């Protein structure tokens, strides 16, 4: 069950700069902590975040252990055409969480 909060404006004018916000639930375990039994807690962080606009990659970010749990990423896009904006977060375990939203450009 993907737990992600994404904020994409439903409509935009062609050429308008729109703000996109994406937050995903993830523990972002750094790998530097010890559990209650003194054993190292294995690292489990999101490595890569990708945003695609109508299938084309328009924004990507690499994440590192110093980032907080439930990382929040905001960026801007130029609205060019009506379509789907999709998001993917891939973590150390190789699991990918996805989410998407539609935008209508007039």
- Residues that bind another protein in the complex, under the rule CB under 8 A: 1, 3-5, 7, 21, 23-25, 27-28, 68-70, 72
Q: Are 44 and 92 in contact (CB under 8 A)?
A: yes
Residue among 74, 101, 98 nearest 11 (CA): 101
Closest approach of Cβ 66 to another protein, in Å? 13
Cβ closest to another protein, residue 14 vs residue 32: 32
Q: Report in angstroms how near the CB of residue 101 gets to another protein at its nearest.
A: 12
From residue 60, alpha-carbon distances to 18, 44, 51 in Å are: 17, 19, 6
Q: What are the residues whose beta carbons fall under 8 Å from the beta carbon of 71, sequence distance 6 or more?
A: 23, 24, 26, 28, 46, 49, 63
Bridge pairing between strands 96-105 and 11-12: parallel
**Closer CB to another protein, residue 50 or residue 101?**
101
Cβ 100 to another protein shortest distance, Å? 15
Residue 7 vs 81, nearer CB to another protein:
7
Query: Is the CB of 5 or the CB of 81 nearer to another protein?
Result: 5
Q: Write down the least CB distance from residue 30 to another protein, Å.
A: 11
């Amino acid at each position: 069950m993907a737990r992600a909060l994404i904020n994409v404006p439903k409509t935009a004018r062609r050429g308008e700069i729109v703000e996109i916000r994406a937050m995903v639930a993830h523990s972002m375990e750094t790998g530097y902590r010890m559990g209650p039994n003194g054993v190292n807690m294995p690292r489990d962080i999101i490595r890569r975040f990708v945003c695609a606009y109508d299938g084309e990659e328009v924004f990507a970010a690499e994440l590192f252990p110093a980032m907080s749990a439930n990382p929040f990423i905001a960026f801007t896009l130029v609205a060019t055409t009506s379509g789907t904006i999709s998001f993917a977060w891939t973590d150390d375990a190789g699991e990918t969480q996805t989410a998407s939203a539609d935008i209508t450009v007039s």
